[in-house]
Amino acid sequence: MRFLPLLIAGAALAAPAAALAHPHIFAEARLEVVAGEDGTITELRNVWRFDEMFSASVVMDFDKNSNAELDPDELAEVGKTVLDSLEEFSYYTTITEDGRTVKVRKPDVINVDYKDGQLLMFFAVKPDEVMPLKGKLTFGVYDPTMYASMDFPSDSDLVTVGDKFAACKSAVVRPDPDEVLSENQSSLTDAFFNDPTGTDMSKLFATRLEVTC
C-alpha cells in the first residue's frame, strides 16, 4: 500500500509514532502578519512551497486522468483535502498573546498550484478572537508532529503588513537547538524524543516572528 503523506491524509498509514519524529516532508514557507486600520491582527497569510518528492507523490495520488499533471479540478481537490485534514493541527499556524495560545479559524479555502515540479499552497487564517497590537505577540508556522519541516529561508519571509505596526518592534527568532535543550532539560523528557506527537514541545525549536507593542 502506497503511503499517503501526513500533510494530505491527516494521519500516517501503518507508521509507528516514533517514525514521525523525523521530517518526511520539506517546505519553504512565507508568513505575512497583517494588521488593520483598527490596530488589530486581521489575518496571517501563508505561502508554502513543497519539495519535489512530496509534490510528485501528491500528483500520483490526485492525478485522476493520468496526464502526469494536476488539472484545476484536481488542484481544487488537493486544497479541499488539506483544508479538512489540517484543521486539527491549526493549519500549522501558531499565535500567542503574552504567552497565551490564540486559536485560528478555519480558512475559507486553500489555493493550490503546481509549478516546476513543486506544489504550492496559498491561504490566510484569522485569529479566533480580537487581537489588538498590544503586549508581546508571536507568530509562527510549524508541524507539532514534526512530520513536516516548515522552513523560512530568510528572515524576510516572516513579515508584518500594515501601518499600525510602525509603533511596534518586530524580530525573527531562530532558536538555537543546543540552547533550547540546555534551558529545558527538566521538561524535555524521553517521551518527547520517542514520541513528539504526544507533546507540544516542538514549538520551542520553531522559527517565529515576535512583535512587541
In this prediction, residues 162-187 reach a mean pLDDT of 80
> With 60 as the cut, is the pLDDT of residue 199 above it?
no
> With 90 as the cut, is the pLDDT of residue 129 above it?
yes
- State the distance between the two ends of the chain, measured CA to CA, in whole angstroms: 51
> With 50 as the cut, is the pLDDT of residue 1 above it?
no
Name the percent of the chain lying above pLDDT 90: 62
User: What sign has the CA pseudo-torsion 85, 64, 28, 6?
Assistant: positive
Q: Can you give the chain as a three-state secondary structure string?
A: CCCCCHHHHCCCCCCCHHHHHCCCEEEEEEEEEEECCCCEEEEEEEEEEECHHHHHHHHHHHCCCCCCCCCHHHHHHHHHHHHHHCHHHHHHEEEEECCEEECECCCCCCEEEEECCEEEEEEEECECCCCECCCEEEEEECCCCCCEEEECCCHHHEEEECHHHHHCEEEEECCCHHHHHHHCCCCCCHHHHHCHHHCCHHHHHCCEEEEEC
208 vs 182: which has the higher pLDDT: 208
Q: pTM for this one?
A: 0.82
What pLDDT, on a 0 to 100 scale, did the predictor assign at position 206? 86
Residue type at 122 in one-letter notation:
F
What pLDDT, on a 0 to 100 scale, did the predictor assign at position 201? 60
pLDDT band at 147; cut points 50, 70, 90: confident
- For the chain, the average pLDDT equals 83
What pLDDT, on a 0 to 100 scale, did the predictor assign at position 182? 64
pLDDT, one tens digit per residue, over 20-72 is: 456 788 999 999 999 999 999 999 999 999 999 999 999 998 999 989 889 99
> With 70 as the cut, is the pLDDT of residue 113 above it?
yes
pLDDT band at 205; cut points 50, 70, 90: confident
pLDDT band at 179; cut points 50, 70, 90: low
C-alpha–C-alpha distance, residues 73 and 62, integer Å: 10
83 vs 196: which has the higher pLDDT: 83
Report for 84-98, 117-131, 136-150: range of highest mean pLDDT: 117-131
Which sequence spans correspond to the domains of the chain? 6-12+21-212
